[in-house]
Amino acid sequence: MTIDPKTFSPFDPEYVEPERPHGAVNESGEWEWEMLEPYKRIPRVLATLWRDPYTVYYENRRGDIGVKTTRTTPCPFCQQSHEHGIGDGHREPHCATSRAKPSATLSDGTTVYQKDGYIVRTRRIAMPKATSPKR
Ligand SMILES: [Zn+2]
C-alpha cells in the first residue's frame, strides 16, 4: 500500500462507502442506521458511526505510514467513541465487551445488534468544536 501524505484524502473513492438505504438524516447530514444489501433475502440494519476527516503522516524514517484517525460518534451499544483505521465500511465492534449491550434501540425505534458490527463513515466536513466561552 503506497500512500502519499501530501495527496492523501479520506474521500478517495477507495476509502468511501457507497450510500445505502438509511434512516432519518439529522441536521448534520448523518443517519443512525443503514441497510446492507439484502443477503440471503434477509436485509440487515446496522448502526452507523460517524467520524471527522482524518489524515495520514510519515511516522518514521523508513517511510512507514501512520494514520491519525478521529473518534466516532458514541456507539449505541457501549456509549463510547471508537477509533478505526484508514477507510470506511463495515467493522467489527470495538466495544469493551463487558460494557456493550447486545442490541440497541435507536431514536426512531429501529433495533440494531452488536454482533452485526457497525458501519464507520467519515463526515465530509468536521464537526465544529464545542465553542469555548473565552474569546
Ligand atoms: Zn461500542
In the reported structure, the alpha carbon of residue 94 is separated from the centroid of ligand 1 by a whole-number distance in angstroms of 6
What distance in Å separates the CA atoms of residue 54 and residue 105, rounded to the nearest whole number? 29
* Structure confidence at residue 112 as a pLDDT band (50, 70, 90): very high
The pLDDT, as a whole number, for residue 41 is: 72
Residues with CB under 5 A from ligand 1 (ion): 75, 77-78, 95
The pLDDT, as a whole number, for residue 131 is: 62
The pLDDT, as a whole number, for residue 2 is: 75
Query: Can you tell me the mean pLDDT for 106-122?
Result: 96
The pLDDT, as a whole number, for residue 31 is: 98
Grid coordinates 473513492 are at which residue? Answer: 13
In the reported structure, the alpha carbon of residue 131 is separated from the centroid of ligand 1 by a whole-number distance in angstroms of 27
The pLDDT, as a whole number, for residue 38 is: 66
- 107 — alpha (psi -120 to 50), left (phi > 0) or beta? alpha
How many Cβ atoms are within 10 Å of 48's Cβ, its own excluded?
A: 24
In the reported structure, the alpha carbon of residue 42 is separated from the centroid of ligand 1 by a whole-number distance in angstroms of 24
Q: What is the DSSP letter of 79?
A: S
The pLDDT, as a whole number, for residue 4 is: 86
Q: Which residues pair with 47 in a beta bridge?
A: 33, 118
In the reported structure, the alpha carbon of residue 10 is separated from the centroid of ligand 1 by a whole-number distance in angstroms of 22
What distance in Å separates the CA atoms of residue 133 and residue 16, rounded to the nearest whole number? 36
What distance in Å separates the CA atoms of residue 106 and residue 16, rounded to the nearest whole number? 24
In the reported structure, the alpha carbon of residue 100 is separated from the centroid of ligand 1 by a whole-number distance in angstroms of 6
In the reported structure, the alpha carbon of residue 60 is separated from the centroid of ligand 1 by a whole-number distance in angstroms of 31
pTM for the whole thing? Answer: 0.87
Domain residue extents for the chain: 13-122
* Structure confidence at residue 98 as a pLDDT band (50, 70, 90): confident
What distance in Å separates the CA atoms of residue 131 and residue 135, rounded to the nearest whole number? 10
